[in-house]
Structure 1
Amino acid sequence: MSGALLHSLSHNWLGKADIAVQSALLAGGVIAVALRLWSRRLLGVSLQGNDWLILAALTVMLGRYVVELLLVLLCGLGLHTENVIAIGGSDAVVRFKKITFAGDLLWIIAVGLVQLSILHFYLRQFQHRIIVWCTYITMTLCACLCVGSLFATAFICTPSKKIWLSELDGHCSNPKTLRLATTISEGILESFILCLPLPTLIHLRLSGTKKAATTLIYLLGLIIITITLIRIKADSYLNEDDITYTSARKSLLSCLVPLLGIIVACLPIMPPSIQTISGRHVFSSPTDDAAAYGYRHSGYYKTTVLSGAQMEEPEIPLVSVRHPPMAKKLSEWCQGQIKITSDWEIHSTRNSARMDKDSIRRA
């Protein structure tokens, strides 16, 4: 019977569109994560917590993709329920609800992991106290929403089997109310996540290329929020009597949120690998602020700054020199040939250890 549903794929245009879109976005997510990890390797930086979180999110979405394939190929997602029953029998609808239940749980986990990865990246990038505290609060809210949504979805019916076996004795809460509350909460948190770094970004002086990249990231973020809001309307069209057909559009919209989120989370970390592939330093400019540099090149040195109980390591380029008026005049007399020599020591206030560095001369 499942084989008959598989053969009906040629007439299932909604199912084919669902698989095509998810395949393309999943491939984009895999490429984005690969470039992110390659960038870390190029910089000689070990993987951070946000990298592991985005890897976990991609792994969960791979499982969610398998679930979607099963729904389309074996359960007739995209076909009218009466056709599914005629081809695959009533067991196909039961199987559809059971697999959908597993897919909903995976989707909630994936969205939560993507949100936590982006917020953890904020903690490593931005050091303003207000932004840090707001980020911690948002992380707590995202974690609570993820755990709460998991439990509410898993135990919406008592017993849980009643989710796919409606004839069993028991009780179920209103699934539409749960989905509406969860979707609205996600939209609010996603908007807050998108706005968190704005106070810092608007004060940075970035090159045209970096401004375009930042605009792209925010554009994708706005698309994700818009899709989240559209899902509210898609939920209102769900019809239990024709569940395999009416849930196809909602399923297609739902997959866009975590997959686009994975790509957005990787974009700020991808420049080193992109520059290696293109052979051009398209993202670097002497007009960029030092705080905008999130990666390390061979011409950079690291300065350790102790700020309270936190240790941060900003990257400061020796090659980017802003001339005061007198220095600019001197550079003109020297025909632009400036030699920078630095002798430095690092003193630890904790154990009074000292590291001396020989003079570094760079032309």
Structure 2
Amino acid sequence: MASPSATLVHTLGHNTLGKTDIAVQSVLISIVFFSVGLRLWARRLRWVSLKLNDLLIIVATFFMVGRYVVEILMVVLCGMGLHSTEVAQVGGSEVLVQFNELTYAGDLLWVTVVALVQLSILNYYVHNFGQSTMTLLSYVMMGLCSFLWIAGLFSTAFFCTPPKRIWLADTPGHCGDRKMLHTGVNASEAILSFFVVILPIPSIRGMSLSKTRKISLMCIQVLGLAIVAIIAIRMKIEFDLDPEDPTYSSARKSILSCIVPLLGIILACLPTLEPAIQTIFGMSASPSPVHTSMYDPTFVRYWKTTVLSGRSLEEPEMPLVTLTQPFKAKMGYLAPGNIQVTSHWEIHSSRGSARLDRSPVRQA
């Protein structure tokens, strides 16, 4: 008899569910790499250093790659998508033990990736919405997500005592109620994800944005609600799993399990991609007014943090502005007057005026 791994690789030809699982994950993880790459590039285009939400997405992508490898091993080596009778007949009972081990690792990675994505989105809210209420609610939600992450991680890791009993049923010990565990974790994730998605909606409605921009932001919210719906469907499938045929019944759950964190990473990257997309398609940024009013949220936040508290804060992003004067007659010829204002607050004049050189502001 051929080795179990080689024989089960050969069965991939008629393993439709397994091939579908690998295909869906491969397409989505390619989009994830592209989205994260654009996100990092957009930060570089804006000359903005990486923040905590960027680092959390990078870590989440790293763990998602690990889960992607686990899923491929479950299909290729353990025959996920095939009936357990065929898997045991072809590969032996050891393959089912290996399947349970990989399922255990995949569940731990799933809980971790979902929590990292939620924390990244909430941290993005903190940095990009100046309202104190929004910031407070974001921090509260971050605390709840962190608590659920730790609770879900430990309850999954120590579902059986000892954990080895999860994949070796004849090991002395005891296990909890698997359906109750999965129902609790999935229901909590769905509820928290729902509130994470709808949290910025009141702030978005109050912003003075163009109709197109608001529609694009609302589409992102709809995608987030779709992810919440997928989590709920995943919870329903948990009840339909056949413990006597785990390799076949868990294939549909596996497809939904991979869609949730992968779409979550893409969703977290979408609001940050505007500079990169504008550069790719050669579009100029839409003109926005210079922040000169003391009632501007960015100005107020910067003033309170730097001046009143004496702490240092990275300067808010200011668009580069070029002010062009009409042509004027000067000393017998026409000379255009251009003033370029950059983020370093330097003033460059194409006229080379001596009055600017003698200005006390210029000398300072």
RMSD: 2.9
Q: Superposition pairs for residues 280-319 of structure 1, below 5 Å?
A: 280-281=283-284, 284-286=286-288, 304-307=302-305, 311=313, 313-315=315-317, 317=319
Q: Distance in 1 between matches of 2:101 and 2:362?
A: 67
Question: What is the aligned partner in structure 2 of residue 268 from structure 1?
Answer: 271
The alignment partner of 2:206 has SS state of: coil
Q: CA deviation at 1:214?
A: 0.7
Q: 1:318 to 1:40 in 2, by over 3 A?
A: closer
Question: What is the aligned partner in structure 2 of residue 156 from structure 1?
Answer: 159
1:102 is the counterpart of 2:105: yes
Q: Distance in 2 between matches of 1:262 and 1:53?
A: 10
Q: CA deviation at 1:125?
A: 0.6
Q: CA deviation at 1:213?
A: 2.1
Q: 1:77 to 1:151 in 2, by over 3 A?
A: same
Is contact 1:183-1:232 (8 Å) kept?
yes
Which of these residues, 190, 194, 218, is aligned with residue 193 of structure 2? Answer: 190
Percent identity reads 47
Q: Superposition pairs for residues 129-278 of structure 1, below 5 Å?
A: 129-278=132-281
Q: CA deviation at 1:341?
A: 9.9
Can you give the 5+ residue segments of structure 1 that lack an aligned partner in the other structure? 292-300, 322-330, 332-336, 347-355
Q: Distance in 2 between matches of 1:341 and 1:17?
A: 55
Q: 1:341 to 1:57 in 2, by over 3 A?
A: closer
Greater Rg, structure 1 or structure 2?
2
1:78 is the counterpart of 2:43: no
1:51 is the counterpart of 2:54: yes
What is the count of residue pairs matched by the alignment? Answer: 323
Which of these residues, 9, 28, 33, is aligned with residue 30 of structure 1? Answer: 33
Question: What is the aligned partner in structure 2 of residue 66 from structure 1?
Answer: 69
The alignment partner of 1:76 has SS state of: coil
Is contact 2:198-2:221 (8 Å) kept?
no
What one-letter code is carried by the residue in structure 2 that aligns with 1:223? A
Q: CA deviation at 1:175?
A: 1.1
Q: 1:3 to 1:77 in 2, by over 3 A?
A: same
Q: 1:223 to 1:320 in 2, by over 3 A?
A: farther
Is contact 1:205-1:288 (8 Å) kept?
no
Output one character per residue of 1:333-356: Cα deviation in whole Å (capped at 9) or x when no partner.
xxxx999899xxx9xxxxxxxxx9
Output one character per residue of 1:26-84: Cα deviation in whole Å (capped at 9) or x when no partner.
00111000000001111111111111100000000000000000000000000010111
Normalised TM-score (structure 2): 0.82
Question: What is the aligned partner in structure 2 of residue 126 from structure 1?
Answer: 129
Output one character per residue of 1:282-316: Cα deviation in whole Å (capped at 9) or x when no partner.
x625499999xxxxxxxxx9994225758574445
Q: Distance in 1 between matches of 2:244 and 2:362?
A: 77
Question: What is the aligned partner in structure 2 of residue 89 from structure 1?
Answer: 92
Output one character per residue of 1:245-301: Cα deviation in whole Å (capped at 9) or x when no partner.
0001111101111100100111111111111110013x625499999xxxxxxxxx9
Q: Distance in 2 between matches of 1:241 and 1:290?
A: 68
